[in-house]
Amino acid sequence: MLAAVALDAIRAQPAVYAESTLRLTLELFRGTEQALGGQGKEGGIDRYPNPQEKYQTWWNSRIAHVPQPPTPAEAAEFGTARNLSRIFQPHRMAVYCWHSAWPGS
């Protein structure tokens, strides 16, 4: 059923599908650095983002307490985690996988 819905959406707007597929493919190979902490990049560059500050405006108040700010130990390890995440960026892995799949290309 989900496949049928997806195919109907593609048939209804093939240009949108083609444009977004091309744009996302180029972004994958060209690369955009992804900071720690998800899509909101303002917090994940220099420190762990505090999820309670980041999402407080749109999370339901009944579950706003679930994500907790980093502990002091987690915050102290931020530099190491950030450096590791810079190595394993999607665009770097895409290029590596491409060259592994087609040596000499």
Does 37 or 22 have the greater pLDDT score?
Answer: 22
Q: What integer pLDDT is reported at residue 21 of this predicted model?
A: 92
Q: What integer pLDDT is reported at residue 12 of this predicted model?
A: 96
CB 53 within 8 A of CB 44: no
CB 90 within 8 A of CB 31: yes
34 by DSSP, 3-state: which?
Answer: coil
pLDDT at 40 over 50: no
The count of other CB atoms within 10 Å of the CB of residue 53 is 10
pLDDT at 43 over 70: no
Q: Measured between alpha carbons, how far is residue 94 from residues 27, 29, 35, 63 in Å?
A: 10, 6, 17, 36
CB 39 within 8 A of CB 51: no
77 by DSSP, 3-state: which?
Answer: coil
Q: Of 4-13, 33-42, 94-103, where does the model show the most confidence? A: 4-13
Q: What integer pLDDT is reported at residue 9 of this predicted model?
A: 92
